[in-house]
Amino acid sequence: MDEEILQLLRDAPSGFLSGKEISRRLKVSRTAVWKRMEQLRTLGYEIEASKRSGYRLIQSPDLLTPFEIKSGLTTKWMGKKIHHFQTVDSTNSKAYQLALNGAEEGEVVLSESQEKGRGRLGRQWFSPPSLNLYLSIILRPTIPPHQAPLITLMAAVATADAIRKVSGLIPQIKWPNDILLRGRKLAGLLNEIHSEMERIHFVILGIGVNLNMDEKKFSKEIRSIATSLKIEIGETVSRKAFLQSLLLELEKWHSIFLEEGSAVILNAWRDRAEVKGRQVKVTSFGEAIVGTAIDVDSDGALILKTKDGIQRRVMAGDVEYKEKVKS
Ligand code: BT5
pLDDT digits (tens, 9 = 90+) for 59-88: 988 889 999 999 899 999 999 999 999 999
What average pLDDT does this structure show over 115-125?
Answer: 96
Position 101 scores a pLDDT of 98
User: What is the predicted pLDDT for the residue at 327?
Assistant: 46
How far does the centroid of ligand 1 lie from the alpha carbon of residue 50, in Å?
48
Average pLDDT along the chain: 94
Judged against a pLDDT cut of 90, whether residue 33 lies above it is answered with yes
Q: Is 150 exposed, middle or buried (0-12, 13-18, 19+ CB in 10 A)?
A: buried
- Do the Cβ atoms of 139 and 148 come closer than 8 Å? no
Q: What is the pLDDT of residue 322?
A: 86
| 111 Cα nearest atom in ligand 1 | 10
What pLDDT score was predicted for residue 313?
95
Indicate the angle between helix axes 30-42 and 19-26, nearest 10 degrees: 100
Q: Is the pLDDT of residue 190 over 70?
A: yes
Mean pLDDT throughout 1-23?
92
Residue predicted with more confidence, 327 or 318: 318
Mean of pLDDT values over 184-188: 98
**Is ligand 1 within 6 A of the CB of residue 119?**
yes
Distance between Cα 226 and ligand 1 center (Å): 10
